[in-house]
Amino acid sequence: MSKERNGIRIKDRWAKRKIGGKRYQVEVFDRHKGAYKAKRFDTRQQCKDWAEHQRARFLLGQDRAGRVPLSLVGEALLEDLSRMGRCPEYIIGVKKTIEQAMEFGITDLNSDALKQKVRKWLMSLRDIHKNRGRNNTRPITSRTRNKKLTEFKRVINFALENDYLHVDPLRGLKPETDPSRHKLKPIFRLDELRRLVSDEARAAHPYWLRFCLLIYTGCRAGEAFNMRWEWIDWEGMVMAVRQHGSYRLKQHSERLVPLQDELAMILRDHGGPAYRSLRGPILNESDHAQTRNNGCNGYNFKRFLTVNGLDVDGRSPHSCRHTWISLMLATGLNIYQVMQGSGHKVLSTVQGYAHAMPRNAVKGWPAGEIYLRRQVSEVRGAHDLRILPSIGEVG
C-alpha cells in the first residue's frame, strides 16, 4: 500500500495475493464526512485521474463519501414534522412511504443507483383490495405513484437542507403524466344545487351545513371545515380563511372570501340569537372530528348526494370549488377577482377549474352573488372582491 498523499491512497491488491478482479484500489478521503470513498481500476494512472476528479467534487461539495442511511434521515424528518405541527395523516403517509422504500431495499440515499432503485420501487408497488373474500393485488395508479414520489422527495429535500447530502440524487426524476388530471371534474347544475341547499336536504342528512360552506365559499374542504365564528365580519360581509392549530393552508395563503347573503342567513339560523358573539369552530365537535378523515368526508359527501336523489357521477367535495369558480366567472367577475377569493396564485390553474356555464342560467345575478334559495329580485348588492379589506382587519 502506498502512502497517503493529499487524502488519496492507492493499494496494490495483488501484492497481498488477492489475484482476480482489478489490481489497484484507490481511496479518497472526504474531510466533511470523515470517511473514504473507494474504487478499483486496472492501472495506477486511472486511479490518479479518478481520485483527482473525486477530490475536486468533495471540495466543491458536489458529492459525499460514506453512506447516508434512509432510516436515520427518515427518523429525523418524522421528528421534525411532529415538531412543526403537521397533521397526523400526513406524517403517517410519509412514514409508510419510508417503510415501503426500505422494504424494497433502498437504504442508502448517497447511492449512485438511487434514481434507478426508486423508479423500480415505484413500478413494483401494488394496491391490495378484496374481491370475493380474497386479497388481490393490482398496480397502483400513476397518481398514487406521483404521491409516493413526492413524499420520498420530501425525505431527499430534508437531507439536503440538513447537509446530509449536497446534490439531489433524484434530479431529473419527474412525476408521471396523469391523463385523468387534465379532465375537467364534473360540477353541479343549478337545479341540483337548489335541491341540495334546500330545507328538505337539511332534514335528509347532517352533511348539509358542510355542503353549504363548500358551495357558498369555494374553499377547499379543509379550509371550510376549519372555519371559526370569530373569523366572520358580519358588518363587512366577509369571512377570513386562516391557519389554526395543526391545520395548515395550502401555500400558506390566508385570505378573505365574500360572505354570501344566503350563507349568512344559514349561519345565523345555525348559531342562534347570539351568533355575533360566538367563538370556536362553526361545525360542532362531532362534525369537526368527522371531517378530519378524508375518507370519511368523501363517504358522507356521496351519501348526502344519494339520499337527495342525485348520482355521484365522479364528483367529490372538491367539485364544489370547481362549481363556485365557474359560477363566479359566469356572473361577471373577471378571473383576477376570482383568484383573490379562491387563493390561487397561477392564472392557468384557475382556467383549469373553470367550466363553461350558460349565462342564461345566472341571468340577472349580480356579479359575485349566488341565488339558490332566493329569487333574483331579492338583491342586496353585488360583492366586489377588489375592495375586500385586508386579512388583518377581520377579528
Q: What share of the chain is helix, strand, coil (3-state, %, to 5)?
A: 50, 10, 40
Comparison of pLDDT for 34 and 68, the residue scoring more: 68
**Are residues 105 and 117 in contact, defined by beta-carbon separation less than 8 angstroms?**
yes
Q: According to the model, what pLDDT value does residue 153 have?
A: 92
pLDDT at 287 over 60: no
6 pLDDT above the threshold of 70: no
**Counting every residue, how long is the chain?**
395
Residue 94: predicted pLDDT: 92
- Is 230 or 127 the better-scoring residue by pLDDT? 230
| Mean pLDDT of the region 368-380 | 75
With a threshold of 0.85, does the pTM exceed it?
no
Q: What's the rounded mean pLDDT across residues 152-156?
A: 92
pLDDT over 90 percentage in the chain: 30
Residue reference for cell 338583491: 379
Contact 148, 119 (CB under 8 A): no
35 pairs with which residues across the strands?
30
Residue with C-alpha cell 335541491? 195
Per-residue pLDDT, 52: 83
What pLDDT was estimated at residue 382? 44
How far is 152 from 155, CA to CA, in rounded Å?
A: 5
Q: How far apart are CA 211 and CA 27, in angstroms?
A: 65
Give me the chain's average pLDDT, please: 81
Strands (E), 183-231: none
The reported pLDDT for the residue numbered 16 is 65
- Comparison of pLDDT for 74 and 9, the residue scoring more: 74
**Confidence band for 385, pLDDT divided at 50, 70 and 90:** very low
Query: In degrees rounded to 5, what are phi and psi of residue 177?
Result: -80, 125
Question: What is the amino acid identity at position 317?
Answer: P
User: If you average pLDDT over residues 214-230, what whole number do you get?
Assistant: 91
pLDDT for 2:
62
pLDDT of res. 290: 46
Residue of 68, 95, 89, 81 whose CA lies nearest to 151: 95
Please indicate whether residue 182 or residue 91 has the higher confidence score (pLDDT): 91
Q: Which pLDDT value is given to residue 384?
A: 45
Comparing C-alpha atoms, which of 352, 371, 388, 179 is closest to residue 262? 371
